[in-house]
Amino acid sequence: MIVRGKAKKQKITKSAMTRAGSSASDFLLKLELESNPESLCLVRATIERTTETLHFEPAETRAIVRAVDEALANVVRHAYKGQRGQPIQLTCRRLRSADTEARAKGIEIILQDSGVALDPAKLKGRPLDEIRPGGLGLHFMRQSMDKVEFSRSQGQNQLRLVKYLAPAKPEKTQGD
């Protein structure tokens, strides 16, 4: 697995962010990995630390890790049909808000693979009332993230996952 860190931060001025509307993003890291199930634990550990540094709560961190893990498992199992050694790229960006520059607004994670095109009909997941193995991965992703967007371009599948930071809770004072 190749890791490319935040060596070069995108230059985004306050005025540019304001012009763009309400948000912009900073590059955090890029992982280049192969479609081997053993790689998933390395990605989970990386995503866990990344989300912690962005001040996500422990439950939110677990949710993001779960979504990314399930997304990667889907790429391995469905896009590459279990074939090992195929390329997967994962990119993380910090989403910023123009009026909360001091604090991250959220995280955007993009997965790209060159596997077979996804069948939109199979992206529904299965009804939870059915008690049978399988079909839970997509449900976990949608439950865990604010945005789950699939697309295909130039022979590549792309999955965009977004999780926003919950608004900061007011600090408790003595007597609360």
Partner 1 sequence: MQIAARPFEGWTILDVSGDIDLAHSPAMRKVLLGEIREKHTKIVILNLGAVRYIDSSGIASLVEGLKASRDQGSRLILYGLSKTVREVMELSRLQRIFEIYDNEEQAVSSEGHK
Residues that bind partner 1 (CB under 8 A): 37-38, 40-41, 44, 59, 62, 65-66, 69-70, 73, 76-77, 128-129, 131-134, 136-137, 139-140, 143-144
Contact yes or no for 86/34 (Cβ under 8 A): yes
Query: Measured from the CB atom, is 21 or 127 closer to partner 1?
Result: 127
Cα 20 from Cα 97, distance rounded (Å): 10
Cα 39 from Cα 46, distance rounded (Å): 11
Which amino acid belongs to residue 37? P
Cα 79 from Cα 113, distance rounded (Å): 8
Report which secondary-structure segment, H or E, holds 165.
none
Query: Measured from the CB atom, is 20 or 41 closer to partner 1?
Result: 41
Q: Kindly give, in sequence order, each residue whose CB lies less than 8 Å from that of residue 154, ignoring residues fewer than 6 positions away.
A: none
Residue 139 beta carbon to partner 1: minimum distance, rounded to whole angstroms: 7
Cα 99 from Cα 83, distance rounded (Å): 45
Residue 136 beta carbon to partner 1: minimum distance, rounded to whole angstroms: 4
Query: Measured from the CB atom, is 129 or 171 closer to partner 1?
Result: 129
Residue 144 beta carbon to partner 1: minimum distance, rounded to whole angstroms: 8
Residue 132 beta carbon to partner 1: minimum distance, rounded to whole angstroms: 7
Which amino acid belongs to residue 91? T
Query: Measured from the CB atom, is 133 or 155 closer to partner 1?
Result: 133
Query: Measured from the CB atom, is 37 or 99 closer to partner 1?
Result: 37
Residue 57 beta carbon to partner 1: minimum distance, rounded to whole angstroms: 13
